[in-house]
Amino acid sequence: MAHILKSTDCVGNRPLDMTADADTQVDGLERLAELARHASPEGRARLENTIEVIARSRQTQSMTLKTVQQVKEELALVEQITLVAEAHNMDEERRSSAELHILKDTPRK
């Protein structure tokens, strides 16, 4: 059976409320499977194909949501690292500038 989305999944910044729909989604596939069991061989093949396509679609959607969340987390980490690096570079520039002022003010022989 396909992976059912959890209530914590989100699209953009909006969480998806999938808990109410999860039972409906499973029931829908179960009803299709029940129909397939009683269908003609041709109808059974069509329904089983439909069930497979829906299951793959749900799995792809779930994987996409997980990937988006991972990318958001990685981006947040990169932003933090970038801020730290920028602060470090600013400190280095200040030190270099202070050293230049000291050298400038030091009498030459």
Series of mean pLDDT values for 10-residue runs along the chain (109 residues): 42 44 72 92 94 94 97 96 94 88 74
Is residue 2 within 8 Å of residue 55, measured between CB atoms?
A: yes
Q: What is the pLDDT of residues 46-63, one digit of tens each?
A: 999 999 999 999 999 999
Is residue 17 within 8 Å of residue 32, measured between CB atoms?
A: no
Domain map (residue ranges) of the chain? 10-105
State the number of CA atoms in the 13 A half-sphere of 39 facing the CB: 14
